[in-house]
Structure 1
């Protein structure tokens, strides 16, 4: 990997890190909480930490099918023969254990006094007794009460975006509801006279609106409530009015298209007519024309028209902004190094994102670049696994170099 020497390259553009910091600074955590049943809580952000009201597991139980015994009843360094006193299945409460063994099954509560479980595969059973091998460890195959979670322990912090495994833990503790924060309300537009809704006839020189479909899905994965307001045509007057109407009923206005420098790109003027712009161009590829500001006091983010630029801009600017609004304790996913199967040169001063797929190769994985390199190639996103990230000071990489890789699955 070749990096730029001789100091920082000045591009005159806002860096991605600075743009993300400005986006987060503009966002304010939303007020309001709600107690949701677990069936509705996936993807919501916890407003209050979850404190365990009881031990988990709530009682000592067997980790395997076998026999519960008292370690003190086992002979030291020799086999032990014990009578089988009874049996317990999961959900049954066993009796006190006297001198002997108790047939037990996975998850069943062990009898009072038992402190060790011997796997059924390790014993010989006959005529109402079992022969236990020598060398059994005290406490073997026994799950103690509170071993997983102790009563009073904080198990999930405030700010956690709830995942399926989190909800499983809450349910195991006997809680039916969690207190979550309000979800950001996002007004979503596409802009452009060339756009047509999918499913309708396609006139000459028109294209289907794919960006809004993709953004709607990404917004929902990011935990937002979406008001899909359709396609805004390119007339400046109507654009300003629609933006103001959307700003009045949402926490964020998000658009795609119309933020470049062409004569028909009216979004900038429409935003300035009723708000402000904090930045206009970001030092990334793809996705340089990105507008961040506000409309009538509501945060505004204008993404480019090319689909790959939309995807990148949303992942690294909209995602942390929405997390801040939702009160989420969000950290950008860490990139991991992978070996490159291609060479690439780039201009210094911009962070560049390359679409790649991972293939097994020898003792690891190698990243292969998708042949669709343009910012308009939706196929390159759908047919790849993630992004290679080349820093601002990198000017060239060669096959065999290592570079940071971000899987799509970790971005949303």
Structure 2
């Protein structure tokens, strides 16, 4: 049976980064850049005012004092988007709005609050240093500067930078399309009444949300009954439309757990079972070079396996540089039951107390107790060689 690390390494070796394609930046959030972004222009493109005030010649204000203010004549008003067609001369100024281009002849801005205005004149009571309240051309980005490197994750700030450069279309790593199916005759749609022996299909919605949270595109296949031919045909068709197939349920030892057999018939079955709890019955394989995940049917096992195995694979396919979430060290605030010989992932609640992180478990840890994931903000990782944890011991936690 594979260890968690062995299974993770196996999966990562089997998946590849998606090809680049061009998208509009409005659709690029959480995509990964497939090109260096070289600025075609300076940002800002001209010297502009950082304040509402008056554009002045600093030399004209050098002798300004509260007891003997300097008088300047207002020659114009410059709004954002305007540009004066003439310059400002000695003894003159221009009223200016935030973001407006600095008029020729001026070299600083005095705030409205620091002057007294009367009709077409202002009285400046303090010297205004050269360059005061001016945002210089190119102070944010210089022309020909590499602003964003290939491999950068595009967050809202990066989208804003691209827009400021006038780059409407960019090359990014294509988002993987994940075909998602739940299997089992016991499942019904969430808006259907429950008849005896039936349960609602919650896993599909948890996984759909996880797939979208990871920045990928779900392709829902619905509920697949425990019928081999129908399951096989559905999986084959789904692989033609997607980059990865993800199923939940049907990977254990039951008579109607057919996913592993179907996986073997349509592709290459790589491994089944990982030495961990919850999530031991994890199946992984490939078909036509595309990865297939057979996740357990128990809701907690399903989500834990996604976090540990499917998410890193999708991160690599998306072009991300970091595949795994960073583990943190925390102090256990309660005893944690654990048997040596297998890795366990308890649902926990980590928090900061003064200058240290502490963690406790969320209560009952059964693989069917979905509310344990609702209450958790981390997984408490207990390696194979570790036994029971005592209060005060250090443990590793994986943020959720």
TM range (shorter): 0.7 to 0.9
Paired position in structure 2 for 1:371? 363
Q: Measured at CA, do residues 142 and 266 of structure 1 come closer, stay the same or move farther in structure 2, by a change above 3 Å? A: same
Cα distance between partner residues in 1 of 2:231 and 2:29: 35
Aligned-partner Cα distance in 2 for 1:190–1:407: 26
Deviations 1:358-403 (A, max 9, x none): 5675567754532242222222223333334444554454545554
**Following the alignment from structure 1 to structure 2, what is the Cα–Cα distance between the partners of residues 365 and 141?**
43
Which of 168, 190, 207 is residue 182 of structure 2 equivalent to? 190
Match of 1:92 in 2: 82
Name the counterpart of 1:59: 46
Q: State the 1:30 CA deviation.
A: 3.2
CA separation of 1:14 and 1:63: change in aligned 2, threshold 3 A? farther
- How far did residue 161 of structure 1 move? 3.8
Q: How many aligned positions are there? A: 393
Aligned-residue Cα RMSD (Å) equals 3.0
Q: What's the TM-score once normalised by structure 2's chain length?
A: 0.85
> More displaced, 356-365 or 197-206?
356-365
Equivalences for residues 9-408 of structure 1 within 5 A: 13-31=1-19, 33=21, 35-75=22-62, 81-85=70-74, 86-94=76-84, 95-99=86-90, 100-121=92-113, 123-127=114-118, 128-133=121-126, 138-295=130-287, 297-338=289-330, 340-357=332-349, 361=353, 366-399=358-391, 403-408=395-400
Counterpart Cα distance in 2 of 1:277 and 1:378: 29
Q: Would the aligned equivalents of 1:84 and 1:130 in 2 still touch at CA under 8 Å?
A: no
Q: Is the 8 A contact 1:372 1:379 kept in 2?
A: no
Are 1:358 and 1:366, in contact at CA under 8 Å, matched by a contact in 2? yes
Change (3 A) 1:89 1:248: closer
Q: Give me the whole-angstrom Cα distance separating, in 2, the residues matched to 1:242 and 1:362.
A: 54
Closer, same or farther in 2 for the Cα pair 1:363/1:28, shift >3 Å? closer
Change (3 A) 1:391 1:141: farther
Q: Structure 1-normalised TM-score?
A: 0.83
**DSSP-derived class of the 1:254 partner:** strand
Structure 1 unaligned regions, length at least 5: 1-12
Find the aligned partners of 2:102 and 2:390 in 1 and give their Cα distance. Answer: 61
Contact 2:4–2:276 at 8 Å: present in 1 too? yes
Q: Which runs of 5+ in 2 are unaligned?
A: none
How far is the alpha carbon of 1:15 from its aligned partner? Answer: 3.0
Task: State the 1:26 CA deviation.
Answer: 1.0
Cα 1:15–1:78 shift into 2, 3 Å: farther
Q: Give the Cα–Cα distance (whole angstroms) in 1 for the partners of residues 65 and 263 of structure 2.
A: 84
1:204 to partner: Cα distance: 0.9
* Per-residue Cα deviation, 1:51-83 (whole angstroms, up to 9, x for no partner): 222111112222223333344444389666251
Distance 1:126 1:245 in 2: 75
Contact 2:58–2:107 (Cα < 8 Å) also in 1: yes
Question: How much has 1:297 moved relative to structure 2?
Answer: 4.4
Structure 1 range deviating more: 376-385 or 353-362: 353-362
Is residue 65–residue 120 contact of structure 1 (8 Å, CA) maintained in 2?
A: yes
Q: How many angstroms apart in 2 are the aligned matches of 1:378 and 1:187?
A: 23
Alignment partners' CA distance in 2, 1:69 and 1:352? 69
